[in-house]
Amino acid sequence: MYQKTTTQQADLEQARNFLSLLSSEIADLIEIRLLPSGQQFFDKDLANILAFIANHLDENVCFGVATRKSNDGSKNGVSHVTCLWADIDWFLRTIP
């Protein structure tokens, strides 16, 4: 179950700083993905990315650590990996 969250202007400034640190040397696309809708957004311009995030504060906002060559959010679309990360998907399941 997803919880609705809210953010303040200061949080968008933190998002700007964080994303610019990860992608400042790279001119490729940054992927933003919304949950639970699954909507994807790809852009190079931080102002456009922050505007998209600000317009979707009713969802959980995720970002792709790897920059993208095109609007392909799969591993085939990866252009550059700018840092290391761990991806842990946790689903509630009933175990017999």
pTM reported for the whole predicted model: 0.73
Asked whether residue 93 is assigned to any structural domain, the reply reads no
Q: Say how many domains are in the chain.
A: 1
Asked whether residue 53 is assigned to any structural domain, the reply reads yes
Asked whether residue 90 is assigned to any structural domain, the reply reads no
Asked whether residue 60 is assigned to any structural domain, the reply reads yes
Range of the domain at 44: 9-81
Which run of H or of E encompasses 11?
helix 9-23
Which run of H or of E encompasses 61?
strand 60-63
Q: What is the DSSP letter of 75?
A: G
Mean pLDDT by runs of 10 across the 96 residues of the chain is: 54 85 80 93 92 90 87 88 76 62
Sign for the pseudo-dihedral over CA of 67, 3, 15, 46 = positive
* pLDDT value, residue 40: 95
* pLDDT value, residue 4: 54
Q: Of 70, 64, 69, 82, give the one whose Cα is nearest residue 23.
A: 82
Asked whether residue 19 is assigned to any structural domain, the reply reads yes
